[in-house]
Amino acid sequence: MLEKFANIFRIPDLRKRVLFTLGILAVYRLGAFIPTPGIDTARLASLFNMQNGSALGLLDLFGGGNLRRMTIFALGIMPYITASIIFQLLTVVYEPLARIQKEGELGRRKITQWTRYMTIVLAALQAIGIAAVLTKSGLVLHPGIGFVLMTVLTLTTGSGFIMWLGEQITDRGIGNGMSLLIFAGIIAGLPRGIVELVQKVQTSAWGSLTIFVVLLIVVGMIGVVAFIVFVERSERRIPIQSARRIVGRRMMGGSSSHLPLKVNSGGVMPIIFASSILSAPLLFGQVEWVQNNRFFQPIIQALGPGMPWYVFLNALAIVFFAYFYVSIVMKPDDIADNFRKSGSFIPGIRPGKRTSDFINDILTRITLVGAVYLILIQMVPTFMISGIRLDRLWLVGRLFENLPSAFTHGLGVNFYFGGTSLLIVVGVAMDTVNQIESQLIMRHYDGFSPRSGRIRGRKTW
């Protein structure tokens, strides 16, 4: 295994890409320790400790702890993700934008440029909201218009810089830049989660069962990782037969292969998209006049993490974005057309429309399985933090009052050990390793898996 890792640094181009990616991640983590000027960070930290598992904690997960410390990267990549969702939805419902997307590389560049502009606008709006909330909460050392302008300028610039870092990793490094930034933020928060678990053992937070509960959490975390790896590598293979044809004086084709369709083609993106959408009302609920409003207050409370309506809408959003993402990445009509052009076909299925419908039916079924898998993974941190407050359901809440406290109120464990964070960490790690392995095999080196490369590379530098 050490020999296979050493092969990464024997290839100049791959070595340069890996070191560049690590350098960008180091810059991102450095910015996580530069605070936004004019904020009482000690009181802000105590506020987050009191609201562990709330809307602020949910946003802090994807920011890698930047929001907790209110650094220059406090907004994280959420503005960019939200802007990407907006334009991806518009390409489906707005025909002129769909035509621009079909223009190829030029159209993609135009949409990317507009996404950047939208990111800056959304970041500025969020920064204004954060400045207002901090001022109302008394966390500002010198409140006023100067603080608002400084906060908007700092946070917007930080969000734009993060967007640029992610694009640099995607273009010149290894892996997906935005996913790797989220990955780095979660990994940086894991030590804090470990310390909190150790403190619970030292203080016997769960009484005489504390050690047993901690062991159960560790075993459950290992089981979740194994489950994630199993599902992420699962695929539905559609058999493909190539027709024989004569090219010159040689007989070509006639071989059998398969079309692999992943169970979870969208990866972690449906969860990130759903969390980004549901974070909007949660942030809106942090405004003081909304909290005191008789109309909005019950709505915001019902949409809080762990509430039944939040769980239900979150599940619906994950299912929607799972299908939406697959519809963008996998186009059955294009696949069937490519089969027809190459002389390939699925045994027992007519080429053309029948082939497209067959692939579409399979994608519909396995995408539903993948969406249910994502929902189950998403439920793990919910149970660990706050549980599902079924006892607060209207009219029928009393029927659930006798449920165990761990089910309705959770275990109060830091959600860095939750399913969402583990899914992001494992999914991004697997995707990055696969890209590195592809680079190794392309240059005739052994990959990391036993079935990868067949030709050993040179042992000289």
The tally of CA atoms less than 13 A away on the side-chain side of residue 399 is 4
pLDDT category, 51, cuts 50, 70, 90?
Answer: low
What tens digit of pLDDT does each residue of 142-175 get? 888 888 899 899 999 999 999 999 999 988 888 8
Q: What is the mean pLDDT of the chain?
A: 78
Q: How far apart are CA 153 and CA 35, in angstroms?
A: 13
Q: Which residues of 72-99 are buried (b: 16+ CB within 10 A; e: fewer)?
A: bbbbbbbbbbbbbbebbeebeeeeebee
pLDDT at 458 over 50: no
Q: What is the DSSP string of 359-420?
A: HHHHHHHHHHHHHHHHHHHHHHHHHHHT---GGGSTTTGGGGTTS-HHHHH-----GGGSHH
**Residues of the chain above pLDDT 90, percent:** 11
Q: What's the pLDDT at 100?
A: 84
C-alpha 460: how far from its chain's center?
A: 39
pLDDT at 457: 38
For residue 24, pLDDT beyond 80: yes
- 234-417: in CATH 1.20.120.550: no
318 and 270 Cβ atoms separated by less than 8 Å: yes
Nearest Cα neighbor of 381 from 356, 414, 405, 355 is 414
Which pLDDT belongs to residue 252? 61
Which ranges in the chain are annotated with CATH 1.10.3370.10?
234-417
Q: 371 and 274 in contact (C-beta within 8 Å)?
A: no
